[in-house]
Amino acid sequence: MLPVVALVGRPNVGKSTLFNRLTRSRDALVADYPGLTRDRQYGQAEVEEHSFIVIDTGGINGDEEGIDLVMAEQSLMAVDEADAVLFLVDARDGLTAADHSIAEYLRKQDKKVFLVANKIDGIDGDSAVAEFYSLGLGEQVHQIAAAHGRGVTQLLTLALTPHIEALASPKTEEDEFGYDDDELSLDEKLAEAPDENDTIKLAIIGKPNVGKSTLTNRILGEERVVVYDMPGTTRDSVYIPMEHDGRSYTLIDTAGIRRRKNVSDVVEKFSVIKTLRAIEDANVCLLVIDARDGISDQDLSLLGFILEAGRSLVLAVNKWDGMEEHDKDRVKSELDRRLGFIDFARIHFISALHGTGVGHLYESVEEAFVSATKRISTAMVTKILDMAVFDHQPPMHQGRRIKLKYAHAGGYNPPIIVIHGNSAKKLPHSYKRYLMNYYRKSLKIMGTPIRIEFKETS
C-alpha cells in the first residue's frame, strides 16, 4: 500500500513547486503522449527506495474566515486520507492569520504533521523561521527552498521517510523494476518481472457511475470466484481472485463490490487515492468510460495516472446498449479526436448491464499482459533497429546524420528499449514515434506503452 502525503498551506507558499519537484521522475512516460496533460493535484513520488502518493491540496484560501470555509472539501478529504501532512508556510511572508487557522485545524486531526518553511533561499533561514515555532506543531521547522531543491532531500530522508517506513511495507517487487530504476541489472529485473503465465492483476478504473460495479458483478456472475473479502476501509479496493479459461486473475475492484440487495447501503465515495493505489498495484488497467457522457476531463486524468505508472491498458466504452446510431458515431469520432494518441490500447464497446461484449475483454487483457511481460533479446531489438533505420534514415543534426548503433531491452512492464547512438537524444519527436511504432509492429506489442530511452555513444 502506498502511503499518502498531503501538501497543505495557504496559496503561494510553494505547494505546487514542491509537488512538481517530488513527482518529476514520473513524467517520462506521460511526456511520450503530448495529447495528455498530467493531473497537477495527485502524483507519485519516489524517494530513495520509497514510493508515496503526493496530493497538492490547493484549495485553501487565506481570505476566508474560519477553517471550515477556508479549506475546500477536496482538501479536507485529502488530509483525511493522508498518512502524513506537509504543512507549508512562507519564510519570507512570515507568520499569517491563515497559517494560524490551518495549524489549529491540523492540530485537531490525528495526523503526523511536518511544518515546512519554504523560500529560505537568499535569507537567513534560522531567524526567519523562529516565529513559526509558536504554531506548536512538532519540535522542528524544516527549512526548504522548493524552487531550488534545497533542504528537500533532508526533509524527505530524515523526517518523512522514517515516518512513512513505519507505516508502510517496503516497495513491492513490481516497483523494483520501475522504468526509472537504474539500480537493478536487467537480469534482476527479468527475474522479478511477472511471467506471462502469472496471475493477471486487473484493475477496473473509472470515474463514478460509469458502470464499474455493474461490470464487476457481471464478470463475477459468469466466472468462478475463488474467494473474496469485503474491504477493510473505504480507501481500500476489493481484491477478488477468479479464474477464466484456465487463467487466474485478481480483480481489483475500486468501486467496492455492491452485490448486496440494498445497494444504497454501500454508497461509495469516489477516492482518487484508492484509484491511484489500484493502478499501481495492477498489471493491466481496464478503464471504463461512459458512452453517454463522452470523453470527460476526469477520464483523461485517470488515463494520465495509468500512463504515468506505465501500466497496460484496455478501454471499455460502456452503456453501448440502446444508443442511437448517430450517437455511436459521435462517440467514435470523439474517441479518435481525444484519445487518438493512445494508439496502443484496444477499445471495446460494451454493455455491462446486458453483458454484451464483456467476454471479449479477456482477449485484450491477456494480450496486454503478455505484451508487457514479453522477454525481448538484445539481438532482436538491435536487428529491428537496423531494419527501422534501413527503411527510414534518422534526420541530420547540425550537419551530421544521427547514427543509431545498437539497442537492448531495459525493463519490462512496461517494456523499455534502450537505443545507443550519437546525438540520439537530438532525434525529433516524429522519429521517436516512428521507432516506437516500428518496435510495436515488429514485436507485436499491443495494450502496453513502450518506452524508448536514448543513450549517447561517441
H-type helices in 317-397, by residue range?
325-339, 361-373, 378-391
Q: Is the dihedral of CA 436, 438, 443, 445 positive or negative?
A: positive
Lay out the site mask for ligand GDP across 15-44 (x = CB under 6 A, - = otherwise): xxx---------------------------
Select the span of 25-33, 69-77, 125-133, 144-152 touching ligand GDP (CB under 6 A): 144-152
274 is in an annotated binding site: no
Q: Which three cell numbers stand for residue 165?
A: 517506513
Report phi then psi at 329, rounded to 5.
-60, -40
Q: Which of 238, 255, 388, 407 binds ligand GDP (CB under 6 A)?
A: 255
437 binds ligand GDP (CB under 6 A): no
279 is in an annotated binding site: no
Select the span of 8-16, 160-168, 374-382, 396-404 touching ligand GDP (CB under 6 A): 8-16
Question: Which residue has 509537488 as its cell numbers?
Answer: 19
358 binds ligand GDP (CB under 6 A): no
Distance CA 291, CA 259 (A): 24
297: three-class secondary structure by DSSP: helix
Question: Which residue has 454493455 as its cell numbers?
Answer: 351
119 binds ligand GDP (CB under 6 A): yes
* Cis before 414 (ω within 30): yes
145 binds ligand GDP (CB under 6 A): yes
Distance CA 88, CA 132 (A): 11
Among residues 209 and 422, whose Cβ is nearest to ligand GDP?
209
Closest approach, Cβ 54 to ligand GDP, in A, equals 12
Q: Which of 155, 210, 331, 409 binds ligand GDP (CB under 6 A)?
A: 210
59 binds ligand GDP (CB under 6 A): no
Q: Which of 121, 180, 192, 453 binds ligand GDP (CB under 6 A)?
A: 121
Q: Which of 26, 189, 201, 212 binds ligand GDP (CB under 6 A)?
A: 212
Distance CA 154, CA 242 (A): 45
CA distances from 307 to 29, 244, 291, 378 (A): 6, 26, 22, 25
340 is in an annotated binding site: no
Closest approach, Cβ 205 to ligand GDP, in A, equals 10
Give the distance from CA 219 to its chain's centroid. 25
Query: Treating both helix axes as pointing N-terminal to C-terminal, what angle do 429-443 and 378-391 enclose, rounded to 10 degrees?
Result: 130
CB 99 within 8 A of CB 117: no
Lay out the site mask for ligand GDP across 294-323 (x = CB under 6 A, - = otherwise): ------------------------xx-x--
Distance CA 25, CA 19 (A): 11
Q: Which residue has the CB atom at the shortest distance from ligand GDP?
A: 211
Closest approach, Cβ 357 to ligand GDP, in A, equals 9
Chain contacts with ligand GDP (rule: CB under 6 A): 9, 11-17, 118-119, 121, 145-148, 206, 208-214, 255, 318-319, 321, 351-353
